[in-house]
A and B are shown apart, each in its own frame.
Chain A
Amino acid sequence: MIKQMNLQSRRQVLQKGLLSAVSIGAPAITSAQGKTLVTTGYGGLHEKWFRAAVIDPFEKKTGAKIQFKYGAAGEWLTSAIANREDPEIDVPMLSLPVAMRAITIEGIFLDLDNTKMSNIVDIDPMFFDLYKRRAVGFNYGDFGICYRTDKVNPAPTSWKDLWNPEHAGKLLLPDLTAGAVLEVIVIASLINGGSENNLEPGWEALKKLKPNVLRYFKNNTEPVGLFERAEATIGAWFSARSYAIKDSNVPLNYVIPKEGAPVGVLSFHIARNTKQRDLAYEFVNFAISREAQEKFANGVEYGPCNVKAQLTGRAKERVPPVNRLIRIDWAKIQPQIPAMQQRWQRDIVS
């Protein structure tokens, strides 16, 4: 026991000595040394490149420890509400529809102070204004049509192709917990003469689409097995998710329909009551920097929100520029979100 204590105190002295030595040389390191910041994300390619482009270099630069939590945006927002006094997650990364809901809830997340994020000047204003400055975009992905090249011939070119009776029982659409449901409703409306203010044509069309649907997938790993086993042959899905399967040698392809693809954005939110406010800002600022954005976007093959970040090689071919995407008028959709989700659950998936 005594020996142990001696060892421990000796270690502490050593640590303190080291710390003070380091702090003279690099004050930035001591400010974050030993601090832990909790953020969130998705498994697979996303995690791999998020670690490589953001987490690892940030840890190295600041000495802080970043904890990465898995799950889904809805769960993280639920956690943010439940633990609002003492947040479990300091910097949750939310996907678009959940983020839209999140910014309407008072007292959960900070109104972001752009003077604390020097890199914000390089972010496409769309990805800051969209969130009324309560969050900032990290990356964007296009949401188009993914299909088995050996089963679907000719290749789909339009969103309307999903309604082709040939796909009966073979189509995948997202469910509420997998994101992009609101986008699907809006697209169905837009291609049938409706608009963000008039979604009725979309609802009618989606009801007619039901016989084609194999599964309204609950998370973004469900389609992987279904496409690989050819249970599903066509689906509305994110580009990088589709390409990830294609790159594992499954006969699969991804197209942006001629009407365009809606954009899915992941955004950073900072918990209002985080004990690491400065570190959280530092982390977000780092993640939206040109270097981090470039590395992540080229790795995952999603679009960067930083306009200075350059895509190269395959990512350049696969990621469409922002202006080729359908921009949904979220301001008009926002007040309708709860009603849309309820109706989706009752009339479409049930």
Chain B
Amino acid sequence: MNISRRAIFWLLLPAFLIITMGLVGPLLWLFYFSLLASDAGIPTSEMLTSANYARLFSDFHALAVYGNTFKVSIYVTFFAIAFGYPLATWIAKLKGRKSAILTLVVISPLLVSIVITSYGWLVVLGTNGILNKSLMTLGLINQPIKWLYSTLAIVIGLTHIVLPFMVLSLLSALEKIDRNVIEAAAVLGAKPLKQFYHVTLPLSLPGLISGIALSFTICMSAYVTPAVLGPSGPQFITTLIFNQFVTFFDWGMGSSMAIALFLLGMGLVFLFLKAAYRYGGIAAGGQV
């Protein structure tokens, strides 16, 4: 027992050190900087102040950008569920090779850099892009639609990135469901919709909730996709933070924005985990 504990300590140490030095340390520094008055990244006083946060919460433009980021994250998560759930259900029913091949297809977007997938969408969604050309050839539209540089383009691009995470989380939950439980429901006279609503859905909730948590946090902190596909103005919190540092050299404001985003993300993950724990407990019959 003692030996294994010591082994665990040494095994965890590298991860602990990396997280402390690479994440906690810089985060604390960022927090400290968000409490300083500064000009062009150089602190003007050593006194701590909440002025940057006061500026942030009275800045309606910035708050609107937070709201927009939140809105887009909800849309993306919704579409990820809408596309991901049927896909995961289908893959879960398949066996052996077919299931492995399909899983590989689903995670394939993760094998390509986000920068490249985003530029790919640029070509697809453009005025003279494949999508508009096809729709015009089919006679469905007379004039090209402006897909590019819109919130819709961000939603499309991010859904593409988030979908594998959603499918994988759902798959892990769906594959665990005992077929006999569903058959029992059928034997007792439940129609497919009722089977789904009363049996499959509750049992897959832990996977669904972790999928939502992943999707949400990935969306909130996405940078490349909104920058490449989104509207020109900073409508996404990450692009706004980038501008605070690199264009306005207002590091105080940028730091406070980053900390606010971090706390928001942490809060959401906490809520989702709490929910997953609760429903997970029910789904597993009290065993978590």
Cβ contact within 8 Å between A345 and B40 = no
Select the stretch in A210-218, A246-254, A291-299, A326-334 that faces chain B. Answer: A210-218
Query: Is residue B20 within 8 Å, beta carbon to beta carbon, of the partner chain?
Result: no
Query: How many Å from the CB of B43 to the closest CB on chain A?
Result: 11
In angstroms, Cα B234 to Cα A342, docked, is 12
Assuming the contacts A229-B126, A338-B248, A341-B248, asked whether A82 and B41 have C-beta atoms less than 8 A apart, the reply is: yes
Residue A204, interface by CB 8 Å: no
Write out the residue numbers on chain B whose beta carbons fall within 8 Å of the beta carbon of A82: 41
**Which A residues are CB-close (under 8 A) to B127?**
169, 214, 231
A229-B128, A231-B128 as given contacts; A350 in contact with B233, CB under 8 Å? yes
Residue ID in chain B nearest A350 by CB atoms: B233
Task: Among A78, A213, A226, find the residue whose CB has the most chain B CB atoms closer than 10 A.
Answer: A78
- Given A177, A345, A348, A349, which contacts B246 in the complex, CB threshold below 8 Å? A177
Instruction: Determine if B191 is an interface residue (Cβ-Cβ < 8 Å).
Output: no
Question: Quick check: A78 and B248 within 8 Å, CB to CB?
Answer: no
Q: Is the CB of B42 within 8 A of A341?
A: no
- Cross-chain contact B243 with A105 (CB below 8 angstroms): no
Closest to B40 in A: A105
Contact of A215 among B41, B129, B149, B249 (CB under 8 A): B149
Task: Say whether, besides A215-B149, A230-B128, A350-B235, A345 and B41 are in contact (CB < 8 Å).
Answer: no
Asked if A101 is an interface residue, CB under 8 A from chain B, the answer is yes
0 or 1 for each of B69-102: is its CB under 8 Å from A? (1 = yes): 0000000000000000000000000000000000
A77 and chain B: residue at smallest CB distance = B249
Q: Which residues of B contact A75 (CB under 8 A)?
A: 246
A74: CB under 8 A from chain B?
yes
| Bound Cα distance from A345 to B248, whole angstroms | 11
B232 lies within 8 A of A215 (CB): yes
Nearest-neighbour CB distance to chain A for B1, whole angstroms, equals 41
Min C-beta distance of A20 to chain B, whole Å? 43
* Known A218-B227, A345-B233; contact A176-B243, beta-carbon cutoff 8 A: yes
Closest Cβ of chain A: how far from B243's Cβ, in Å? Answer: 7
Q: Is A206 an interface residue (CB 8 A)?
A: no
Residues of A with C-beta under 8 A to B129 = 229
Query: Closest chain A residue to B119 by CB distance?
Result: A225
Q: Is B246 in contact with A72, judged by CB distance below 8 angstroms?
A: yes
Closest Cβ of chain B to A174, distance in Å, is 10
Q: What per-residue 1/0 map shows which CB atoms of A314-330 lie under 8 Å from chain B?
A: 00000000000000000
> Is A165 interfacial (CB 8 A cutoff)?
no
Judge if B185 is at the interface, Cβ distance under 8 Å: no
Interface status of A205 (Cβ within 8 A of chain B): no
Q: For residue B249, which residues in chain A have a CB less than 8 angstroms away from its CB?
A: 77-78, 81, 101, 105
Q: How far is the CB of B225 from chain A (nearest CB, A)?
A: 13
Contacts of B247 in A (CB 8 A): 74, 176-177, 341, 345
Residue B122 at the chain A interface, CB threshold 8 Å: yes
| Contact residues in B for A104 (Cβ distance below 8 Å) | 40
Measured between alpha carbons, how far is A293 from B245 in the docked complex, in Å?
33
A to B CB contacts below 8 Å, 24 in the list: A72-B246, A74-B247, A78-B41, A78-B246, A78-B249, A81-B40, A81-B41, A105-B40, A105-B42, A107-B42, A177-B243, A177-B246, A177-B247, A213-B232, A215-B232, A218-B232, A231-B126, A231-B148, A341-B248, A345-B61, A345-B233, A349-B231, A349-B232, A350-B234
Binding site for A on B (CB under 8 A): 40-42, 61, 122-123, 126-129, 146, 148-149, 227, 231-235, 243, 245-249
- Which 7 A/B pairs are nearest by Cβ-Cβ distance? A350-B233, A216-B232, A349-B233, A81-B41, A74-B246, A176-B247, A349-B232
